[in-house]
Amino acid sequence: MPDRRTKERSASAPYGALAGKVALVTGSARGIGRGIALRLAQEGARVVVNYRNDRAAAEGCVAAIVGFGGVAEAVKADVSDPNAVRGMLRKIESSAGRLDILVANAGIAPVERCLAKVSPALWRKTFETNTAGAFFCAQAAAPIMVRAGTGSILFVGSVASRLGGNIGPHYAASKAALGGLVAWLARELGPAGITVNLLEPGYVETDISAEFYRTAASRRRLRADVPLKRTGKIADVAAMAAFLVGPQARYVTRERIAVAGGR
């Protein structure tokens, strides 16, 4: 639940920078997605919390938003299923009448660092969620935004797309593909007033990366690899996400922004 400072800050949420906006954050039941959903709600957006399996966690995120005066609902959909994605977007447009912001955050990160051990099944599974899932969401959201003549699409990638990372080649490649998707969509959708950007977190402490933070020694190794000498927090990523989909970034598109402490 939000701490006292969050509650105080979000008391004015309905009048924030995103007041009147409707935002969909995929994979927002936990981790970075949850942090982004909370931050957008604090800025005044009505937030759709998307989840695939963990209904309790999604409802917990909704409860946290409602608890500080925001508006949110949980919607189940597997982003790797284009039919499920289209159904989710139809439901949002029907209930909210619009969609102003899409944050395509849903992703998986199965660890396999050995090239020889990355099976075709693991490769397909990773790309189906991390890459195809982001594409399906943008494909379904774009017509709604085009009709409105405005909108923001933000993909959540990873600095692993440039540096390789610690999870494996399948993960790095799936996130790297988002760069090409952003480059294309920014050109295609720009004339309709839609911005498209890519946010690339570095070492951020979440449940999906928990194994990298298990020991003091591992935490020291990670910090040593970051010029700012600290690992990231979910709040660091959420703050940049809120900026990129907000009014102050309306002339920012086709950009890849790392939140990685200088890595």
Mean pLDDT of 107-113: 95
**Whole-number pLDDT of residue 225:** 86
d(CA 248, CA 257): 15
Give the tens place of pLDDT for each residue, 20-70: 999 999 999 999 999 999 999 999 999 999 999 999 999 999 999 999 999
Residue that is written with structure tokens 């480059």 in the block: 183
Q: Is the pLDDT of residue 208 over 70?
A: no
- Which is the catalytic residue, given 171, 203, 213, 251? 171
Q: Output the pTM of the full model.
A: 0.92
Percent above pLDDT 90 for the chain? 83
| DSSP structure class, residue 100 | -
**Whole-number pLDDT of residue 4:** 36
User: Which of 29-53 are b and which e, b meaning 16 or more Cβ less than 10 Å from the residue's Cβ?
Assistant: bbbbbbbbbbbbbbbbbbbbbbbbe
Mean pLDDT of 99-110: 97
Task: List domains and CATH numbers for the chain.
Answer: 4-258 (3.40.50.720)
d(CA 115, CA 250): 41
Give the tens place of pLDDT for each residue, 221-249: 888 888 899 888 999 999 999 999 999 99
Contact between 170 and 123 (Cβ < 8 Å): yes
203 catalytically annotated: no
